[in-house]
Structure 1
Amino acid sequence: MPEPFPPASLPGAVQSHVWDVTSAVDSQGRAAAYWRLDGRAPVRLQFDKGQLLVRNLCNAVGAAYQLDGHRIQLARPTSTLRACPDSALMALEQQVLAQLPGAQRLDLLPGGASQPRMVLHFGDGSRWELAGTPTPQTLYGSAGERLFLEVAPQRAACSHGVMKGAQCLRVREIRYSADGVKQSEGPWSLFYDEIQGFAHESGTRTVLRVNRFKRQNVPADASAYAYVLDMVVETETVR
């Protein structure tokens, strides 16, 4: 078995990646299937400056954490209160909220293609195994620029290189004041990229908080920027 990362390197390695749950084991040592939902992205953990963010649930979930060597201590998680019509996703969210405070130990192991693996151990003997992917900040070498984009309910036909019949998102930039009051709306325009982490649903108007990163060594026919979803601000079904 590969040697775990030394404790001194854990904080940097933990924060420079996002972590997707790939398997889970219950307190009896048996494989647990609750974490996997067909057709949905896996539960994702992101450690950022003392805050753990949990992605791909119904609500936004977060908890303060402290890391001391391999020992980890998590505060009781908090979440938004959005109702989710997917009962299986809500059940998974409740499982995550109940289990996270019991985390006690975190091990990192080297993985294939230089991608690390994480094992998160809980006090009852259960554990999660996770695969690490570099964060956009790690990949692009900067914190990125924060934008708010409103995405129209329907895509629109667009000319997209050699792709015939391409359908692009329609977006406009929203500007907010420091206290969250909407200040202005930009004009609608075709958006020739995709937003990493965002799946557009026809008939749904969405306001997104995204981070825009400057790409390096961009081919002539590619976008100079990468757009990464940070948070869904609001959604509305439009009939």
Structure 2
Amino acid sequence: MKRILLLALPFALMTACSNPPATTGEATTAPAASAPAAAGIDGALLGTRHWTLETATDASGKRIDGLFVRTDKPVTLDFTDGRVAVSNTCNGLGGSYTLEGDALSMGSLMSTNMACEPELMALDGLVSERLQGGKLTVRSLDASKLTLVTASGDVLVFAGAPTAETRYGGQGETVFLEVDAQSKPCSHPLMKDATCLQVREVKYDDQGLEQGQRGAWENFYGNIEGYTHQPGVRNVLRVKRYEVKNPPADGASQAYVLDMVVGSEQVKP
């Protein structure tokens, strides 16, 4: 077996800046920002959505092309417990924020230290330049749109999609799943010739040390939101597991959402 990626487990055990897939659903409240917003600005909405960058124009109305170098993965903001996480840049960015009236203030953004292609490296700088320090004006905020205006007059419009916590009405449980390199045929009452991922749970302590023995592979009949399996690659995933309230008769009682890929290895046939 040839190992192609391995991330440090202590990092994986920390609270993640997760980036689950955007799916519509009924919203619930999430922790609000540290200060109340002005009338018409519902700060609690910030934490209930993933905010993906939809349009960005400068003060003259010209599109800021450098912010859209990842066309398949737009820059995304997540607000949780007084902190903001920026994903789909080269490096993960994050820092504190406050919302007072319509003024959104972000502190210095901490960053991981990865090297990427020049355009992606430049993306980190363009995002940091517009978000950190000073104050942004919240021009509008509702369940589907967040519009921010920078001090220099740039207008950033983000589309909102409910977080998993919003959709499932709770924080969920963090678990680690090892997914084997190959799926296998499995019996499914609703699907002929079904194939299932082969998974087993992995347990770690607070220091990232594995606990106990890994069990036997089991059929995984459901879906892990945000995860696309690549045959021949074995992964360890950190996922959030949610209880599904009032599932349909033929539906699963639990939902799994990808938080991050902890480690991967190529497995020879």
TM range (shorter): 0.7 to 0.9
Change (3 A) 1:65 1:218: same
| TM-score for the superposition, normalised by structure 2 | 0.74
Is the 1:108–1:116 contact (alpha carbons within 8 Å) kept by the matching residues of 2?
no
Cα offset for 1:87? 5.7
What is aligned with 1:228? 257
Paired residue for 1:188?
A: 217
Partner of 1:95: 126
Alignment partners' CA distance in 1, 2:118 and 2:230: 19
- Fraction of identical pairs, as percent: 38
The structure, 1 or 2, with the larger RCO (C-alpha pairs under 8 Å, 6+ apart) is 2
Compared CA separation, residues 13 and 126, structure 1 to 2 (3 A): same
How far does the alpha carbon of each residue in 1:80-128 deviate from its partner, in whole angstroms, 9 at most, with x for none? 23445x6654443443234321552223344xxxx33101222222121
State the TM-score, normalized to the length of structure 1: 0.82
Counterpart for residue 35 of structure 1: 67
- Stretches of 4+ moved more than 4 A in 1? 86-91
Contact 2:70–2:88 (8 Å) recurs in 1 = no
In the other structure, the counterpart of 1:151 is 179
In 2, the alpha carbon distance for the partners of 1:87 and 1:235 equals 25
Q: Distance in 1 between matches of 2:125 and 2:234?
A: 27
Q: Is the 8 A contact 1:137 1:144 kept in 2?
A: yes
Check whether the contact 2:237–2:258 (CA below 8 A) recurs between aligned residues.
yes
Mean CA deviation greater in 199-208 or 220-229: 199-208
Aligned CA-pair RMSD: 2.5
CA distance in 1, matches of 2:120, 2:221: 31
State how many pairs are aligned: 229
Residues 104 and 136, structure 2, Cα contact 8 Å, conserved in 1: yes
Structure 2 residue 157 is matched with structure 1 residue 126: no
Select 2:244's aligned residue among 215, 220, 230.
Answer: 215
Q: Which residue of 1 aligns with 2:87?
A: 55
Higher strand share: 1
**Aligned residue among 187, 198, 220 for 2:227:** 198
Q: What residue ranges of structure 2 are gaps of 5+ in the alignment? A: 1-36
User: 1:171/1:126 Cα in 2 relative to 1: closer, same or farther (>3 Å)?
Assistant: same
Q: How does 1:57-76 map to 2 (within 5 A)?
A: 57-76=89-108
Corresponding residue for residue 3 of structure 1: none
Corresponding residue number in structure 2 for 1:178: 206
Secondary structure in structure 2 of the residue aligned to 1:14 = helix
Name the SS of the counterpart of 2:165 in structure 1.
helix
